[in-house]
Amino acid sequence: MHHLDTASTIPASTVASLMGQIAGIGRDRLRGGYTRPVYSTAELDLRGWFTEQAAARQLSVEQDGNGALWAWWDLPSGIRADAVATGSHLDSVPGGGAFDGPLGVASALAAVDILRSRNLKPTRPLVLAVFPEEEGSRFGVACLGSRLLTGAIDRDKALNLRDPDGNTFAEIAAHHGLDVRRIGADPALLGQLGAFVELHVEQGLGLGQLQHPVAVGGSILGHGRWKLSMSGQGNHAGTTLMRDRRDPMVAAGRTIAAVQQIARAQDNARATVGRLHPVPGGTNVIASRVDFWLDVRHPDDAVTAAVVQDIHRAAQQIAAEEDCGFEFSQESLSPTVGFDADLSRKLGASLGNAPVLDTGAGHDAGVLAGHVPSAMLFVRNPSGISHSPEEYVEDADAELGALALADALQGLLS
Q: Decide: is 213 part of the binding site for Mn ion (CB under 5 A).
A: no
Q: Which of 362, 366, 373, 401 is in the footprint of ligand GLV by CB under 6 A?
A: 362
**Is 36 annotated among the ligand-binding residues?**
no
CB of residue 414 vs ligand GLV: minimum separation in angstroms? 32
Q: Which of 142, 148, 347, 400 is in the footprint of ligand GLV by CB under 6 A?
A: 142
Q: Residue 211 and residue 154: Cα distance in Å, rounded? A: 43
**Is 297 annotated among the ligand-binding residues?**
yes
Identify which of residues 340 and 391 has a Cβ nearer to Mn ion in the complex. Answer: 391
Closest Cα to residue 297, out of 263, 265, 326, 325? 263
Q: Which of 361, 398, 406, 408 is in the footprint of ligand GLV by CB under 6 A?
A: 361
Identify which of residues 145 and 362 has a Cβ nearer to ligand GLV in the complex. Answer: 362
Element (H, E) at 195: strand 193-201
Question: Quick one: angle between helices 341-350 and 395-413, nearest 10?
Answer: 120
Identify which of residues 53 and 92 has a Cβ nearer to ligand GLV in the complex. Answer: 92
Identify which of residues 105 and 142 has a Cβ nearer to ligand GLV in the complex. Answer: 142
- 101 interacts with, out of ligand GLV, Mn ion, none, CB within 5 to 8 A per kind: Mn ion
Closest Cα to residue 183, out of 202, 169, 195, 193? 169
Residues 169 and 161: beta-carbon distance below 8 Å: yes
State residue 110 phi and psi, 5-degree precision: -65, -35
**Is 89 annotated among the ligand-binding residues?**
yes
| Residues in 98-117 that interact with Mn ion by CB under 5 A | 100-101
CA distances for 133 relative to 91, 187, 317, 358, angstroms:
6, 20, 35, 23
**Is 284 annotated among the ligand-binding residues?**
yes
Q: Which single residue brings its beta carbon nearest to ligand GLV?
A: 362
Quickly count: other Cβ atoms within 10 Å of residue 274's Cβ: 11
The DSSP secondary-structure symbol of 230 reads E
Q: What residues line the site for Mn ion (CB under 5 A)?
A: 100-101, 361-362
| Residues annotated in a binding site for allantoate | 225, 284, 297
| Residues annotated in a binding site | 89, 100, 135, 200, 225, 284, 297, 387
